[in-house]
Chains A and B, each alone.
Chain A
Amino acid sequence: MSKCTKRKLRGRLWTTTKGIPMHLIVDGKPIDIEADPEMPLLWALRDLAGKTGPKFGCGIAACGACTVHMDGTPVRSCILPLREVQGEITTIEGISTDGKLHPVQQAWLEEQVAQCGYCQAGQIMSAVALLDEIDNPSDEDIDNAMGGNLCRCGTYPRIRAAIKKAAALKTAGI
């Protein structure tokens, strides 16, 4: 990277010009970066890979806004150091296929879930992970899966409704 980018994480600066070469697969595409191995994945995604869908919220895995998948498992990218990244990364920008929204995204639209929207990328990624394992989740399943994704606008009832709608859409093959 020729451009020197600095971002602050709770007092730490990440300088992208002092990195080592790394190879990531993000949303199905190979990406070569140079970065400090201690840099959290979120910084690499947003500043180096141009994936600004995942959001910075708390920086300590306490809000879920930064959630992405690593080989299908949801992870909080704000505290996952690059040296521990093993596997393919999927962001909110990589879950639609051939221009068609993922059933969770479609349900989110139909239920008009978002208010400010800041946390929704993380919410959707956790919901996708839930539906990958449980086809028809109960209220309890949803509460268990989504407890780590906070929404200060309080859209939780619509999130629950959208997950149930997404389950129905997915089952119907829509």
Chain B
Amino acid sequence: MRAFIVIATSAIMVFAMATWVLAQETQTPATVDAAAGLPEWEKIYAVFSHPRCANCHVEDDHPRWSGAHYGKTRFHAFNVQRGIDGSGLGNPGLRCMTCHFETNSAVLHGPPGAENWHLAPAEMVWFGKSSGEICAQIKDPARNGGRTLAEVAEHVRSDKLVGWGWSPGPGREPAPGSAEETYQAIEKWAAAGAPCP
């Protein structure tokens, strides 16, 4: 019986390792075409590093405010934070969805809105990070929500909160391009071996 358990455990571990290796291979093709991939990455980086995206992809607990009306980038007012449970949904008594509903406020400086408004997990940090750092993060399943690059692309194209970045409401500069263009850029970048700068 003991021998059977040892063999079974070994088999499971080998299978898990093979699955992990396969997953890594799907993240990065064997050949890398930097000439084709890096220009696509620059389009992606322009989006990910834009304040409409990066202001809520922070490493600490504070979403950021920035834009023409704010001077320099600052912490979100009202002591808004990630939340003591780490959920990204805010704190008891002051959740993100206390002010951020499913659509943008039509009033200048009114709260923007999209479905499921929340901070990105801290490991998905983009705010203040270099192009190379963001590139490494987005390829790392341990830090991108366990996604393949195809799933990252689809997430960017279809998620309502991500899509808000291109229609952020009055007085806010949208992220460059569009969700579809960014999806295409990620697909091309991945096909080129997902090179990082």
Contact = CB atoms under 8 A, between A and B. Distances in A.
Contacts of B110: 59-61, 79
B107 A10 contact: yes
Contacts of B111: 60-61, 76, 79
Interface in B77-116: 77-81, 84, 91-95, 97-99, 101-103, 105-107, 109-111
- Residue from the set B77, B95, B99 with the largest chain A CB neighbour count within 10 Å: B99
Contacts of A146: 93-94
Interface stretch (A45-53, A89-97, A108-116, A123-131): A123-131
23 contacts: A60-B105, A61-B99, A61-B105, A61-B110, A62-B77, A67-B98, A73-B95, A73-B98, A74-B94, A74-B98, A75-B97, A76-B99, A79-B111, A84-B101, A84-B103, A129-B93, A130-B92, A130-B93, A132-B92, A133-B93, A144-B93, A145-B91, A145-B93
Secondary structure dominating the interface of A: mixed
Contacts of B80: 147-148
Contact of B103 (A60, A67, A81, A132): A81
A60 B109 contact: yes
Contacts of B99: 61, 75-76, 79, 148
A144 B81 contact: yes
Interface of A: 9-10, 38, 59-62, 67, 73-76, 79-81, 84, 126-127, 129-130, 132-134, 141, 143-148
Interface in B121-166: none
Nearest to A143: B79
Nearest to B113: A84
Secondary structure dominating the interface of B: loop
Contact of A74 (B79, B93, B101): B93
A145 to B, nearest CB: 3
- Residue from the set B77, B80, B94, B95 with the largest chain A CB neighbour count within 10 Å: B94
Contacts of A134: 92
6 nearest A-B residue pairs (beta carbon): A145-B93, A147-B79, A130-B93, A133-B92, A144-B91, A148-B78
Contacts of A144: 79, 81, 84, 91-94
